[in-house]
Structure 1
Amino acid sequence: MPQALAKPLNPSPASPAVRVSTRENNFDLVRILAAVQVAIFHASAHLQLPPEGVWAQLARVFQVFPGVPIFFVVSGFLISASYERKQELRPYLRARLLRIYPALWICFAVSLLVACAFGFLPLDVVFSPKFAAWCVAQVTFVQFFNPSFLREFGVGVLNGSLWTIPVELTFYVCVPALYALLVRGRARPTSNALLAVVALASFAVGYAMDTGVFGPPRSFQQRLVQATIAPHLHLFMLGMLAQLNWDAVERLVRGRFLLWVVPYTVLAMALHEQLVAGPLLTALARVLLAGTVLSGAFSARSLSAKVLRHQDVSYGFYLYHMVIINAFVEKGLVGRPMYLLAALGIAVIAALASWRLVEKPMLALKASRA
């Protein structure tokens, strides 16, 4: 993810100059909390924790703040600003690839070692065409491909969380196209209206998916739609629209976290408990979630630096947590909260190693070529 927002070299009428220092926001903290939400949700389910108790209640609370949508909102804000800052397509794409792929490839290598250690990669599998195809998929942009020879390992998918990687990569490719078609050279009201139409279309697809239009939750059609940007693009564009209109949005979110998180939490809990329903309330909840995320990033702005000390460990934590949970499931370490804590602790260690040994050096390389 970009580490700062800077003034565009040639801001368009629809794009005000934005300048935000890495030391002036809590995006690193927002992302790690989102990653923890995803990990606790997965661990509670796959490690078979009792349906009642502290961890079960915590998982229910965390469901109100879904990690993946939060990632997408943050990406929309930061990635659009990164594109504006770089202006040229090649350095923009290079920076994005350096941020995603080196850590992803190391995680894949570790995942192979884990699968091998548990006996799921015998020589006849390793030398098969299906294994080669799976490896190519994992190191490119088809991470949701799940081969048959791993479906008996752990929860049945070696690293199921990585379905979001192709979605993020598609976001990166879409940003230059969105700017070229809907932003550059247009007045801001016109650009905002066009982007809003695209966002509403995406929301309609997402709402249809959530309400079963594309079939049951685990059906092939449902999984196919989920692996595209169609149902998720509106979340990315909420962040993008906020960044494009930051001169107005900043006054609404900076230092006003409670004014956003309280109404969002009330509405999200009501929707989750099915006390209320409908597309308008769901759309309002998405807008309130985006406002909560951005307000959290720009309230008590030194909090992230104090807690994380500029260590952006969210990506590594997200990459490794399901590999570790799979190992616990395969070993039969399930049913007790201590196993959840142990799995999350190991994920933290893996995330710190990924940050210090892989991601941070790549960010330095990216900066040296900027």
Structure 2
Amino acid sequence: MDNKAAYLLGGTPARLLLSLIVVASHLGSLTGLYRNKFLFDADFAVSCFFVLSGFAMMHSYGKLQTQVNGWKAFYIQRFFRIMLPVWVLVALQVILLYAVSALPLSQYVNETTGRYVLANASLLNFLQQSLPGVFDNNGSAVVNGSLWTLKIEMCFYAAFPLLFLLAKPKKIVWLWLLWTLSVAYRLLLHQSHPVMSYQLPGQLYFFISGMLLYHYGWHQQCRKWILVVGWLWFIKNCIWGYQIIETPLSFPLILLAFCHSLKPLDGLLRKYDYSFTVYLLHWPIIQVAVHLFLMMGKKWQVFYLCYRPCC
């Protein structure tokens, strides 16, 4: 695929839009000020991020794998792109959030704090999601509930060289098989074991969807058809919601509709892609705002507070 076709035009503004959807979703869920409709659905936005990630990895790894030890460079780049910001964030959260803790320093620094640092720095945040005395009076005491997706992203990076081998023309059927198995896993566990359904096996079909978009060049084809169907599906979901069985097809189509519609902004915003920063920082900022009672009738001001510090 040529370089022009390899780049998903509109991807940068789409990422920024998706990050704001995540902010709006968590603003509603953490404050209870409004109900999360599809327009403010973090699950939808995160799924689209995974599709974009699969697409981007096909392009970046495709260039690196032609180099000597290219796979090592790939792992190093991906590791530090995710882990360095996370380590800095975890350290800042522990230090700065002492200011809103209900406990003195002697009680704040304890085994729970150490467990929080180790768990979150290793992306195992489900092992310890709160800090001593922090946000105890909020609706949720979770310090940063957005970090759960990063372990899935890192697992995808770890497996990607093997998945890339399946994206060859003679082996692509195996990639389709993995896509099908992932969809089946998600559908089967969605009701009975919802937490398990959101782990890597149940998210893999979104990553693979991005890989298939790149492989077949579908993002360059049938643009008018994609725009019409994608936006109609988005409007339908905003009004009536969606079923999980729709997501393997509807989410990638809606994402492509976003990208094609926002394409004129791509060149302008490419230098200002703060989507990952917004994603990392918005949850603790909202939690601090809730703690300080900034929410009462000022939800859109808090939306601004969540985005502005990240820029």
TM-score by length of 2: 0.85
> Could you say if the C-alpha distance between residues 21 and 244 of structure 1 is closer, same or farther in structure 2, counting changes exceeding 3 Å?
closer
**Change beyond 3 A, Cα 1:94–1:21:** farther
Give 2:157's match in structure 1, choosing from 158, 161, 172: 172
Aligned residues, how many?
304
Q: Is the 1:203–1:231 contact (alpha carbons within 8 Å) kept by the matching residues of 2?
A: yes
In structure 2, relative to structure 1, the CA distance for the partners of 1:30 and 1:300 (3 Å cut) is closer
- Structure 2: stretches of 5+ with no match in the other structure: none
User: Residues 191 and 114 (structure 1 numbering): CA distance in 2 closer, same or farther, change over 3 Å?
Assistant: same
| C-alpha deviation, 1:322, in angstroms | 0.6
Q: Does 1:140 align with 2:122?
A: yes
How far apart, in 2, do the equivalents of 1:342 and 1:269 lie?
Answer: 24
Q: CA 1:269–1:348 in structure 2 vs 1: closer, same or farther (change >3 Å)? A: closer
CA distance in 1, matches of 2:34, 2:209: 37
Q: Is 1:108 aligned with 2:90?
A: yes
Hey, what's the Cα distance between the residues in 2 that align with 1:223 and 1:201?
18
Counterpart in the other structure of 1:235: 206
Letter in 2 for 1:105: W
Whether contact under 8 Å (1:77, 1:239) holds in the other structure is yes
Q: 1:271 to 1:48 in 2, by over 3 A?
A: closer
Q: Which residue of 1 aligns with 2:266?
A: 304
Range 260-269 or range 285-294, more displaced: 260-269
TM-superposition CA deviations, 1:183-231 (whole Å, max 9, x none): 3xx5x1x433211111111112222333x121xxxxxxx43553x2011
188, 192, 213: which is aligned to 1:213? 192
Whether 2:110 is the aligned partner of 1:128: answer yes
* Partner residue of 1:86 out of 40, 64, 71: 64
CA change 1:204–1:259 in 2 (3 A) is same
1:1-370 maps to which residues of 2 (within 5 A)?
17-20=1-4, 25-50=9-34, 59-63=37-41, 66-87=44-65, 88-119=70-101, 122-125=104-107, 127-147=109-129, 149=132, 152=136, 154=138, 155-180=140-165, 182-183=166-167, 186=168, 188=169, 190-210=170-190, 212-214=191-193, 222-226=194-198, 228-246=199-217, 249-253=219-223, 258-265=227-234, 268-269=237-238, 272=241, 282-283=245-246, 285-299=247-261, 301-306=263-268, 308=269, 310-336=271-297, 338=298, 340-352=299-311
Identity of aligned residues (%): 21
Cα shift at 1:347: 2.5
2-structure distance, mates of 1:104, 1:147: 14
Q: Deviations over 1:86-105 (max 9, x none)?
A: 11111111221232122222
CA distance in 1, matches of 2:147, 2:45: 13
Distance 1:238 1:23, change over 3 A: closer
Pick closer, same or farther for the CA change 1:323–1:153 going to 2, 3 Å: farther
- The TM-score, its normalising length taken from structure 1, stands at 0.73
- Give the whole-Å Cα distance in 2 for the aligned partners of 1:312 and 1:64: 19
